[in-house]
Chain A
Amino acid sequence: MDPVTIDTTKIKSIKRKPVTALEKLEDTGLISTVLAAREREGLILLSTIDQVFNWARLSSLWPVTSGLACCAIEMMGVAMAHHDIARFGMEIFRASPRQADLMFVAGTVTKRMAPRVKQLYEMMPDPKWVIAVGSCASTGGPYHESYSVLKGVDLIIPVDVYIPGCPPRPEAWLYAIIQLREKIKNEGYGAKWGLNK
């Protein structure tokens, strides 16, 4: 990002009653921090706490180890060396949902499995994200007219990214992971100010 330049001519009238927004900012005492930073070569990196958190969150998404059907085989393919999601800092599939912040719903969600999937999701700590993998988890897929399959996992838990395919190729998973990272980047304050670079 561009270095922020501070116009120091405007911050001299510190004894005057604060009128402008910048003067009010001086009055709070916060401006002295900016001045101190200016003395260190005048390069200041501005951000919001949200963006720092987002950067930390998207850099180490830990998925929960759960596979429901054949999509889970592709999940192994994504995790292994050829496609290597360790590049995104998410190679650690946690065996406990308490330590995970991402859930791949990889496969067919049957009626009997649905409350268990929901329980897994509720056991994960906030913030948490869900990727619905394949046509079964997205809509029910080939089992849409079935008596025993839930018509999309978004009926029971919120879903961030849907991946079409039956099962989707690992490249599609990687694209979905990149999309999710973009989404996390734009959460909270600061994104509209251009701080989410």
Chain B
Amino acid sequence: MNPAEELKQKLPSAVVSIGIQVNKPMAVIKKEELLNAAQKVKEMGFDHLSVITGIDYMDHFEVVYNFFSYAKKQNLALKVITDHEDPEVDSLTSLWKGADWLERETYDLVGIKFIGHPNLVRILLPDGWIGHPLRKDYDMDTEQFVTIGEGGEDIVSTDGSNLLRRK
């Protein structure tokens, strides 16, 4: 029995479906039951949250959590499907401390809001960046530039007048 089947056995109400993705057991979780399922996953021995990914499918978003167990040497992927208008899922920072930066990165690039995150600000791009670049509807035509302000802070502008030699 792989970990996804085990999770479905323990929490039949939370798991929508299970399967195999890239040789890893995968379980699709209901959005409301994510914290419960994650708690169960942690009790199953998955002590390492390695990657959080957000995927834009135009009509909905998918958040993928990749877990690894150092003791059992097992992988498990959890998926949560959110709507496209207002993508929000619960934060896992209360269970895995490492989720902090991973969720900030997912928020920065895909724009998924993690409810309960202690410090949900951009991690790679500067504050004030317009849009979330890994979304399909990101505007690639308006180029954004970064300049340094008086106090050393990053300022985002779309004309780059302080930076470029010529327009």
Query: Chain A residues in contact with chain B, CB under 8 A?
Result: 111-112, 114-116, 118-119, 145, 147-148, 154-158
Contacts and interface: CB of A to CB of B under 8 A. Distances in A.
B17 interface: no
21 contacts: A111-B145, A111-B146, A112-B126, A112-B146, A114-B145, A115-B146, A115-B148, A115-B162, A116-B148, A119-B148, A145-B140, A147-B133, A147-B140, A147-B143, A147-B144, A148-B133, A155-B163, A155-B164, A156-B164, A157-B165, A158-B165
Contacts of A112: 125-126, 146, 154
B154 A118 contact: no
A-B pairs, 7 with minimum CB distance: A147-B133, A115-B148, A111-B146, A112-B146, A115-B147, A155-B164, A156-B163
A3 B158 CA distance: 60
Contacts, number: 35
Contacts of A148: 125, 133
A140 to B, nearest CB: 11
Contacts of B144: 111, 147
A176 to B, nearest CB: 21
Contacts of A155: 163-165
A111 B145 CA distance: 6
A147 B138 contact: yes
Nearest to B144: A111
Q: Name the residue among B146, B148, B164 with the largest chain A CB count within 10 angstroms.
A: B146
Contacts of A111: 144-146
Contacts of B148: 115-116, 119
Nearest to B166: A155
A65 to B, nearest CB: 21
Given A111-B146, A157-B165, 17 more contacts: A111-B144, A111-B145, A112-B154, A114-B145, A114-B146, A114-B163, A115-B147, A115-B162, A147-B143, A147-B144, A148-B125, A148-B133, A154-B165, A155-B164, A155-B165, A156-B163, A156-B164
Nearest to A112: B146
Q: Name the residue among A112, A147, A155 with the largest chain B CB count within 10 angstroms.
A: A147
Nearest to B167: A155
Contacts of A116: 148
Nearest to B131: A147
B163 A115 contact: yes
Contacts of A115: 146-148, 162-163
A112 B162 CA distance: 13
